[in-house]
Amino acid sequence: MRYGFIESHKGTWPVYLMCYVMNVSRSGYYGWRGRTLGQRAQANAELDERIVELFHRHRQRYGAARITDDLREAGLSCSENRVARRMQALGLKAVQAKRYKVTMDSAHKLVVAPDLIEQDFSADGPNQKWVSDISYVRTDQGWLYLAVVMDLYSRAIIGWAMRSRMTQHLVCDALTMALFRRRFPKDTVIHSDRGSQYCSKRYQRLMRSNGLHCSMGRKGNCYDNAAMESFFHTLKVELVHREHYTTRREAKSNIFEYIETYYNRQRKHSSIGYRIPILFEEQSA
């Protein structure tokens, strides 16, 4: 206890003075300090090895919070602050965000639906609330458009589609995949923006024929579909902005692998307590 106090306050008072006041020898203090620093250095080296392994396993996508959670699951007791300090010392920094283009086309005269979500992105169980949106990916062949459907309960991506054009077929394909995967649930709320694809007759007919409830956010308000914006932000930061796609086929393959192999089945999601979407659903069931 006394040696620890001296170590903590050596920048405030001289070591010899604190040793005198506390009636301990300077040689005893320096011997303790050498042993303590040696043990700490060894512990840091072992922790650093685990941090580097996790950081590269997730392709520089994990920051201190998710790495800390993985370490604790493996039985290592450490704080997020300590992991953050070690990552800084190692020069490890998770990939950072870049801005991306808004794809909503709301300049139309089609009928829009009311907002049934009202920025409440919580759900007590699967298939209560789904959200959908469209984003884009640049390739040397031109834009590749991606539509996805997410279950708000687990944040799992349950439907997706990719096409070279941003049409009503794109969003219908994504919703159809979600319906087949979830065995055609009834009374599910499907929330989106007011884009012409979601207001199209084809999409609305698909909704009605399957007993789904259509919900749309306000014009130009990204917060009304924040969960979907968050997913596309993550996709762009962790994958798309780190790649150069020569062909649309190459981009499709890469995005498919990210969604189905990594995002749904490996990546921990903060909104569900740093748990993996598919495992979260299985454990809840």
For 137-196, how does the pLDDT look when each residue is reduced to its tens digit (9 = 90+)?
999 999 999 999 999 999 999 999 999 999 999 999 999 999 999 999 999 999 999 999
CA distance 220 to 106: 8
- 62 forms bridges with which residues in the sheet? none
- Helical ranges in the chain per DSSP H: 2-8, 15-21, 26-57, 64-73, 80-90, 168-181, 196-199, 201-209, 226-238, 248-257, 277-284
* pLDDT recorded at residue 220: 65
Confidence of residue 9 (pLDDT cuts 50, 70, 90): confident
Q: Could you tell me which residues come within 8 angstroms of residue 252 by beta carbon, excluding any fewer than 6 positions away?
A: 144, 162
**Rounded Cα distance, 102 and 89, in Å:** 37
Residue 238 near residue 269, CB atoms below 8 Å: no
- Euclidean distance between CA atoms 101 and 96, whole angstroms: 17
- Of the candidate ranges 91-105, 198-212, 236-250, the one whose mean pLDDT is the lowest: 91-105
Task: Give yes or no for a contact between 270 and 65, defined as CB atoms under 8 angstroms apart.
Answer: yes
Q: Are 127 and 151 in contact (CB under 8 A)?
A: yes
Give me 245's structure tokens. 């796609």
What pairs with residue 137 in β-bridges? 144
Burial class (CB within 10 angstroms; exposed 0-12, middle 13-18, buried 19+) of 258: buried
Percent of the chain with pLDDT over 90: 55
- What is the reported pTM? 0.72
Yes or no: say if 210 and 185 are a contact pair by the CB < 8 Å rule: no
The answer to whether the CB of 85 falls within 8 A of the CB of 97 is no
Counting every residue written for the chain, the total comes to: 285
Q: What is the DSSP letter of 270?
A: G
244 token code pair: 């150069």
Place of tokens 């969960």: 227
